[in-house]
Amino acid sequence: MALLFLSLPERAAVWKPLFEAAGVEMIVGEATVTDPAAITHLVCWVPPKDLRRYPNLQVVISTGAGVDYMPPMPEGVQLARTLAPGIEEMVRDWVVMATLMLHREMPVYLGQQREGRWQTRPVPLARGTRVGLMGMGRIGRLAAETLRGLGFDVAGWSRSGRAVSGIEVFGADGMDPFLARSEILICLLPLTAETRGLMDASFFAKLPEGAKLVNAGRGAQLDMAALKRALDAGRLASAMLDVTEPEPLPEGHWAWDDPRIVITPHVGASTDAREGALHALDVVRATREGTEIPGLVDQLRKY
């Protein structure tokens, strides 16, 4: 069994000693592969075009939590996503920061600062402000609990509507009432055929007037032209985006200069190298022992 590592060199330097200590062969970079038949595991963000070069490949491990950019796997190859726990905490922190920034009108104050203007606005309470969180998975649940701890009135929405202790969760048929109560709407959904383009004009029309939008899911879930129209019409007040389509947005895109929008360059999380390596070792062990692969992705449903 050997693992082919196709990620950043600084991460490889952290992974190497851990793999050596575990007695698992790790090969860094396709150029150093001398025996493609030895490769059983592959770690990457985007895989090489022709995975058939590795006839004994068993599992592709995504270095990120989202796997929407992964192509269909060849017959017999399983797909796993990293379960590095730091990802959830990092994205939770970004989402809490974004929610507070919009709640406390930071886009307005940043604009005023650029103009050298000192002007106060009413200061809102977090307590009772209604936040709606789409995606109640590993990250969404953690973010929801933290926001609730700050006093926000948090509700969630997920495909199944699965219960989460202490938080009202709307299911597939509860989208309209969920949106109607979301003064701050957060997207933490995976990108799938169902969620692509989800946030469009008809979606924004269901939010309360002047709602605020936080997107840390994927850029392709958001119709940017519809966002602009919603901002111009006052339907939405502001937005904070960590993900865009494409990434980065092209030079000159209207959103770069729009004072109602704050953009960060997909930095909600960056997988901790050590945590990623430990998860990959768990995957290798599970494959060896024939037990359930941690982070296994259902490729038919994509999740």
What are the residues binding ligand OXD (CB under 6 A)?
Answer: 64-66, 87, 269, 271
Out of ligand OXD, ligand NDP, none, which partner does residue 214 contact, by CB within 5 to 8 A per kind?
none
The only residue of 24, 60, 133, 136 in contact with ligand NDP, by rule CB under 6 A? 136
| C-beta separation of 85 from 133 below 8 A | no
In angstroms, rounded to a whole number, what is the distance separating the alpha carbons of residues 251 and 83?
34
In angstroms, rounded to a whole number, what is the distance separating the alpha carbons of residues 105 and 291?
49
Smallest distance, ligand NDP to C-beta of residue 155, A: 13
| C-beta separation of 262 from 106 below 8 A | yes
Shorter beta-carbon distance to ligand OXD: residue 54 or 94: 94
- Residues with a catalytic annotation lie at 218, 266
CA 227 from centre of chain: 20
Shorter beta-carbon distance to ligand NDP: residue 77 or 95: 95
Smallest distance, ligand NDP to C-beta of residue 299, A: 13
Tell me if 137 contacts ligand NDP by CB under 6 A: yes
What are the φ/ψ torsions at residue 167 (nearest 5 degrees)? -130, 130
Out of ligand OXD, ligand NDP, none, which partner does residue 195 contact, by CB within 5 to 8 A per kind?
ligand NDP
| Interacting span for ligand NDP (CB under 6 A) from 37-45, 108-116, 178-186, 214-222 | 214-222
DSSP state of 164: B
Shorter beta-carbon distance to ligand OXD: residue 87 or 226: 87
Report 74-103 residues binding ligand NDP (CB under 6 A).
87, 91
CA atoms within 13 A on the CB side of 184: 26
Report 251-270 residues binding ligand NDP (CB under 6 A).
266, 268-269
236-241 and 168-170: which strand pairing?
A: unpaired
Shorter beta-carbon distance to ligand NDP: residue 194 or 209: 194
**How many other CB atoms are there within 10 angstroms of residue 298's CB atom?**
8
Strand locations in 7-77 (E): 25-28, 39-44, 59-62
Smallest distance, ligand OXD to C-beta of residue 69, A: 9
Tell me if 132 contacts ligand NDP by CB under 6 A: no
Sheet (strand 78-81) strand order? 25-28, 2-6, 39-44, 59-62, 78-81
Shorter beta-carbon distance to ligand OXD: residue 56 or 270: 270
Torsion from C-alpha of 118, 121, 127, 132, nearest 10 degrees:
-100
The only residue of 16, 130, 138, 285 in contact with ligand NDP, by rule CB under 6 A? 138
| C-beta separation of 243 from 224 below 8 A | no
One character per residue 38-77, x = contact with ligand NDP (rule: CB under 6 A): ---------------------------xx-----------
CA 287 from centre of chain: 26
What SS3 class is residue 278? helix
Name the residue number minimizing CB distance to ligand NDP. Answer: 137
Sheet (strand 211-215) strand order? 168-170, 153-157, 130-134, 184-187, 211-215, 236-241, 261-263
The residues that touch ligand NDP, with contacts defined as CB under 6 A, are 65-66, 87, 91, 135-140, 158-160, 162, 188-192, 194-195, 216-218, 242-243, 266, 268-269, 303
